[in-house]
Amino acid sequence: MNNIPIPAPITVLHVARNYAITEQQAEVALTWAAVDMSVQWAEFAVAAGLDEADGAAMDRWSQQFPGVRGDALDEAVANVTAAPTPVLDPVDRLLAEVRRAPAPALFRPASPMRTNRRRVRIH
């Protein structure tokens, strides 16, 4: 679950406005929906004999069942709004863990681009 992205701020604002909830609730609901969708995809992939890591198969699945995203978000918003405030377990703990997690090793500092061009010196 550590690879769940933090929702984009504009998306959070959009969901908060559309569902008349706070930004914190919208962020939690989006994360909840993302977790729910990944669980649904994993269950479908196992049942259909597909590889869970196959992004193209996941895209086809989401196109075949277009209501999955909306249903997951609707259910997540319902769960978040029914949760006691300010504790929104277990998703608020998940959000806290995601925020505290170190940046992945994949992000290397920028390095100069290497090309096959000859170097030009300006005097």
Nearest CA to 72 out of 35, 97, 101, 107 is that of 35
| For range 73-99, the mean pLDDT | 71
Nearest-angstrom CA–CA distance, 4 and 38: 9
The pair of structure tokens assigned to 105 is 């090793």
Residue 10 has pLDDT above 70, yes or no: yes
pTM over 0.85: no
Given a cut of 70, whether residue 12 has pLDDT beyond it is yes
Angle formed at CA 110 by CA 108 and CA 113, multiple of 5 degrees: 125
* Residue pair 65/105 in contact by the 8 Å Cβ criterion: no
34 token code pair? 């993302």
Domain boundaries, the chain: 9-100
Pair of tokens at residue 90: 């277990």
Under the banding of pLDDT at 50, 70 and 90, the label for residue 14 is very high
